[in-house]
């Protein structure tokens, strides 16, 4: 078990380094932050001095080395745009993104699983078919369009919910939460729905497919032959069996929810990390972009690792399998 963990941790670090390196190679093409910092009246000499101070003239290898050395000390550098430590900026933005993703994931799970079961049990039903068609839309409509539609209906026409921002936030240490105020909940509803729509559709379709598969299995038929109630069969036996794949996919999707949040955050001016990243790109704010990419990489690595461990814990068959092949 320990060997397995260590092995995966080493892999994770390598993945993160690779992400950082690719990011740094790409930063040569995002443009020159100096024109944004210095303004139109700065002379050539001023620009050259600034560029040198920021180390922008050094090669990719040197800058990458500096970045990794900084990371090892827990230092992400200083944002060009805001002239303050990137670590501090990320600490301000992280809670917004994590709360949004968590609420979206909860909505997706709370809506997706029951809907999936319903559509699996009533395959021929009219409502089930309508839900399936809707879910197809949820999968295929682009996020920004859904967001803009929701704003148009609920903010501009009905004026029920705010179209931007986090509403009221309460600070708990360095963490800020919008989940303790009415204004905060009103604000999170539209962006969380936007973000959750795709995931809901995905989970619903997954649960439906798995459910239909399991309901055909022998043990369900025998159960039915023994006279178990439909309720006991569907929820007691079938549902338990489909949870493993649903948890795996759901967990992995949490990573992409955090990454997908970029678009949702831009549409709703949600002050999270995705919005921070987009704003950094327009300014060529390299320290912020680098930190964001590495951080998102870190989320994915952590989530993958956790899912693997969960899998191991949930499914006894896998433990035996892994032991035999030596954690390949």
Partner 1 sequence: MTKKTTPGHRWQAVLLAIFIGLLCRTAAAATFRWANDGDPNSMDPYARQETFLLSFDMNMYEPLVRRDDKLALEPGLATGWKAIDPTTWRFTLRQGVRFHDGTPFTSDDVVFSWGRAVGPGSNIGGALSTVKEVRKIDDYTVDFITNGPNPILPDYLTTLAMMSKTWCTQHNATHAADLTKEEENYAARNENGTGPFILRRREPDVETVLAKNPDWWDAGEHPVGIDEAVFTRIQNAVTRVSALLSSELDMIYTVPPQDIERIAATPGMKIWRTAELRTLFLGMDQERPELLESNIKGKNPFKDRRVRQAVYQAIDEEAIAKKVMRGYAHPTGLLIGPKVNGYDPALDTRYPYDPAAARNLLAEAGYPEGFELGMDCPNNRYVNDEAICEAVVAMLARVGIKVDLRAQTRAKFFAKINGPRYETSFYLLGWTPATYDGLDVLDALAATRRAGSRDGFYNFGSYSNPQVDKLIRDIQGESDAGKRRELIGDALRLVRDDVAYIPLHQQVVVWASRDAVDLAQGGDNYFQLRYVRLK
Which candidate, 78, 87, 97, places its Cα nearest to that of 33? 78
CB of 269 to partner 1, least distance (A): 5
Is the torsion defined by CA of 242, 245, 246, 247 positive or negative? positive
* 45 touches partner 1 by CB under 8 A: yes
Q: Which is nearer to partner 1, 11 or 282 (CB)?
A: 282
CA–CA distances in Å: residue 243 to residues 118, 122, 130, 208, 251: 16, 20, 25, 12, 12
* 291 touches partner 1 by CB under 8 A: no
Q: Which of 46, 121, 134, 256 binds partner 1 (CB under 8 A)?
A: 46
Name 251's Cβ contacts closer than 8 Å, sequence gap at least 6.
303, 306, 307, 310
Q: Which is nearer to partner 1, 30 or 312 (CB)?
A: 30
Is the torsion defined by CA of 57, 60, 62, 64 positive or negative? positive
Q: Which of 242, 267, 289, 293 binds partner 1 (CB under 8 A)?
A: 267
DSSP string for residues in 141-157: S-HHHHHHHHIIIIIII
* 218 touches partner 1 by CB under 8 A: no
Alpha-helical regions (H) of 122-238: 126-140, 143-150, 182-215, 218-225, 230-231
The span of 111-119, 133-141, 250-258, 261-269 binding partner 1 (CB under 8 A) equals: 261-269
* 162 touches partner 1 by CB under 8 A: yes
Residue bearing tokens 């301000």? 92
Binding residues for partner 1, how many (CB under 8 A)? 63
Residue 41 backbone phi and psi in degrees, to 5: -90, 5
Q: Which is nearer to partner 1, 82 or 213 (CB)?
A: 82
Q: Which of 97, 107, 166, 234 binds partner 1 (CB under 8 A)?
A: 166
What residues numbered 78-97 form the site for partner 1, per CB under 8 A?
Answer: 78, 80-85, 88-89, 92
Angle at CA 87, nearest 5°, toward 259 and 270?
Answer: 45
* 177 touches partner 1 by CB under 8 A: no
What residues numbered 131-150 form the site for partner 1, per CB under 8 A?
Answer: 148
Q: Using CA atoms, how far apart are residues 214 and 16, in angstroms rounded to an integer?
A: 38
* 266 touches partner 1 by CB under 8 A: yes
Interface ranges with partner 1 (CB under 8 A): 29-48, 50, 53-54, 75, 77-78, 80-85, 88-89, 92, 148, 151-152, 155-156, 159-160, 162-166, 182-183, 186, 266-269, 271, 275-276, 278-279, 281-284
């Amino acid at each position: 078990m320990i060997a397995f963990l260590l092995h995966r941790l080493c892999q994770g670090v390598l993945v993160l380094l690779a992400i950082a390196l690719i990011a740094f190679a790409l930063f040569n093409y995002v443009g020159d932050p100096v024109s944004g910092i210095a303004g139109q009246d700065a002379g050539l000499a001023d620009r050259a001095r600034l560029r040198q101070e920021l180390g922008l003239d050094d090669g990719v290898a040197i800058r990458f080395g500096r970045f990794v050395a900084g990371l090892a000390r827990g230092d992400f550098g200083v944002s060009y745009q805001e002239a303050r430590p990137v670590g501090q900026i990320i600490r301000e933005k992280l809670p917004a993104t994590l709360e949004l993703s968590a609420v979206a994931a909860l909505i997706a799970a709370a809506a997706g699983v029951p809907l999936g079961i319903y559509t699996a049990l009533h395959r021929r039903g009219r409502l089930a078919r309508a839900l399936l068609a809707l879910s197809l839309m949820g999968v295929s409509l682009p996020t920004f369009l859904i967001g803009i539609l929701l704003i148009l209906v609920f903010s501009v026409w009905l004026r029920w919910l705010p179209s931007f921002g986090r509403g009221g936030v309460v600070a708990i240490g360095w963490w800020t939460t919008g989940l303790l105020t009415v204004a905060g909940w009103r604000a999170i509803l539209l962006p969380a729905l936007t973000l959750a729509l795709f995931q809901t559709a995905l989970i619903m379709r997954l649960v439906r497919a798995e459910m239909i598969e399991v309901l055909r299995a022998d043990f369900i038929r025998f159960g039915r032959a023994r006279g178990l109630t439909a309720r006991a069969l569907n929820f007691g036996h079938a549902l338990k069996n489909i949870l493993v794949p649903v948890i795996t996919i759901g967990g992995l999707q949490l990573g992409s929810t955090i990454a997908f949040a970029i678009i949702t955050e831009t549409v709703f001016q949600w002050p999270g990390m995705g919005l921070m990243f987009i704003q950094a790109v327009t300014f060529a704010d390299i320290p912020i972009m680098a930190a964001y990419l590495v951080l998102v990489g870190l989320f994915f690595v952590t989530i993958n690792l956790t899912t693997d461990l969960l899998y191991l814990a949930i499914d006894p068959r896998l433990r035996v399998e892994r032991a035999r092949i030596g954690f390949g």
